[in-house]
């Protein structure tokens, strides 16, 4: 079955979403890198998401969840099969001290909504650029807080299109890991339990964390965020900095001079430039300190 047939079939099933053939993924990734998807699907709602996943499974079509593209590097050759982008699943609701957010909503937007309702516990996420789904999969965290501190449950979709509701314990959240990542589940929504707080204190904390992020991270250039996981007993950025890697790279990609844990697309880089810079950093840290850096970002697609 050709991608043109996939397009025709799904076009009949998806009325509120968007379907495109040969869509450049650089338009949707935080790095501004990546080749085209055979078929790009942005469902208009949860039902259309389930329909797309079931269709791909029934027809044995490879399916990649893009999320909001903040923690992913797409190779220059693009992605074969269907790329699922959940940007339209972005509703956020507040019920008492509970925040209900759909999987495609930005986690920092959920943090802002919580703050505006004088709810505390979500401030740590005010600078995290990922989607709720990506944050759940990676148990995202920053500034002493993480998703597992506030999560109640998540509704997920299996690769076969079965809907499951998973409790905090069933999510198996650890350092940058979860059952979602292990099983390849798609997050439809998540519920977070917060506490009532003082509006001024919450605003002050958000302002402080926002300042810390903006002053220390290279937000002026496209990047995939923090590239490497924290090695036990070390900080990845410090190891890279101590190797003298800042400002070095391949092509238009380089290790940030502002924060060594970031690799930025400084001057019209290709995904190949970005990945070669990652490999260069890993090799130098291994040679200098004997530490094997593990990727926090996901590299997908074809050369």
Is residue 129 predicted with pLDDT exceeding 90? no
Is residue 249 predicted with pLDDT exceeding 90? yes
* DSSP one-letter string for 14-51: -SSSEEEEEEEGGGTSTTS---EEEEEEE-SSHHHHHH
- What are 63-103's pLDDT values in tens digits? 999 887 888 999 999 999 999 999 999 999 999 999 999 99
CATH dotted code for 217-300: 3.90.78.10
Q: 128 or 259: whose pLDDT is higher? A: 259
- What are 258-269's pLDDT values in tens digits? 999 999 999 999
- Residues assigned a catalytic role: 176, 226, 296
pTM over 0.85: yes
Q: Give the least confident one: 42-46, 68-72, 110-114, 263-267.
A: 68-72
Instruction: Answer whether 3-84 and 92-203 agree in fold.
Output: no
Q: Answer whether 267's CB lies under 8 Å from 273's CB.
A: no
Q: 267 or 219: whose pLDDT is higher? A: 267
- What are 134-183's pLDDT values in tens digits? 999 989 888 788 999 999 999 999 999 999 999 999 999 988 889 999 99
- Report, in angstroms and rounded to the nearest whole number, the Rg of the chain calculated over CA atoms: 19
Residue 173 DSSP label: -
Q: Sketch the domain layout of the chain as residue ranges.
A: 3-84, 92-203, 217-300
Q: Answer whether 20's CB lies under 8 Å from 36's CB.
A: no
pLDDT above 70 covers a percentage of the chain that reads 100
Mean pLDDT rounded to a whole number for the chain: 93
CATH, domain 3-84, list 3.30.43.10, 3.40.50.2300, 3.30.2020.10, 3.40.640.10 = 3.30.43.10
Which token pair is 74?
């797409």
Q: What is the dihedral of CA 270, 38, 42, 136, to 10 degrees?
A: -60
**CATH architecture designation of domain 92-203:** 2-Layer Sandwich (3.30)
Distance from C-alpha of 236 to C-alpha of 247, rounded to nearest angstrom: 16
Mean of pLDDT values over 42-57: 96
């Amino acid at each position: 079955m050709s991608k043109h047939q996939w397009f025709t079939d799904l076009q009949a099933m998806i009325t509120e979403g968007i379907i495109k053939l040969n869509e450049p993924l650089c338009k949707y990734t935080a790095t501004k890198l990546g080749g085209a998807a055979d078929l790009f699907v942005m469902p208009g709602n949860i039902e259309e998401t389930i329909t797309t996943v079931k269709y791909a499974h029934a027809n044995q079509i490879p399916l990649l969840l893009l999320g909001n593209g903040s923690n992913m590097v797409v190779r220059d050759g693009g992605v074969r099969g269907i790329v699922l982008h959940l940007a339209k699943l972005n509703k956020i609701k507040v019920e008492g001290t509970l925040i209900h957010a759909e999987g495609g909503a930005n986690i920092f937007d959920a943090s802002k909504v919580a703050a505006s309702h004088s709810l505390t516990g979500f401030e740590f996420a005010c600078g995290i650029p990922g989607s709720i789904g990506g944050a759940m999969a990676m148990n995202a965290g920053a500034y002493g807080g993480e998703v597992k501190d506030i999560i109640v449950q998540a509704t997920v979709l299996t690769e076969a299109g079965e809907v499951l509701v998973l409790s905090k314990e069933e999510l198996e959240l650890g350092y940058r890991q979860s059952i979602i990542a292990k099983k390849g589940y798609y997050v439809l929504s998540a519920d977070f339990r917060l506490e009532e707080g003082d509006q001024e204190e919450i605003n002050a904390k958000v302002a402080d964390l926002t300042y810390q992020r903006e002053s220390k991270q290279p937000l002026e250039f496209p990047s995939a965020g923090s590239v490497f996981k924290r090695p036990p007993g070390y900080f990845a950025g410090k190891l890279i900095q101590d190797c003298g890697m800042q400002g070095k790279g391949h092509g238009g990609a380089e290790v940030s001079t502002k924060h060594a844990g970031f690799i930025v697309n400084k001057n019209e880089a290709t995904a190949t430039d970005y990945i070669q810079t990652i490999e260069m950093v890993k090799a130098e840290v291994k040679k200098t300190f004997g530490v094997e850096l593990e990727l926090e970002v996901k590299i997908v697609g074809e050369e």
